[in-house]
Structure 1
Amino acid sequence: MEKIPNRAWFKPKTFGYGASPASWQGWLATAIFVVVFLAATLSLRGVGRWIADGVLLAGFVALVYAKTDGEWRWRGL
Structure 2
Amino acid sequence: MGKISNRAWFKPKTFGFGASPASWQGWLATAIFVVVFIAATLSLRGLGQWIADGVLLAGFVALVYAKTDGEWRWRGL
**Shared fold (TM-score, shorter chain, > 0.5):** yes
Q: Which runs of 5+ in 2 are unaligned?
A: none
Identical positions, percent = 92
Q: Matches of 1:3 and 1:46 in 2, distance apart?
A: 41
Deviations 1:34-63 (A, max 9, x none): 000000000001100000000000000000
Give how far 1:6 is off. 1.7
Q: Which runs of 5+ in 1 are unaligned?
A: none
Q: Matches of 1:4 and 1:45 in 2, distance apart?
A: 36
Total equivalences in the alignment? 77
Bigger radius of gyration: 1
Q: Matches of 1:3 and 1:25 in 2, distance apart?
A: 13
Q: 1:17 to 1:44 in 2, by over 3 A?
A: same
Give the TM-score, by structure 1 length: 0.93
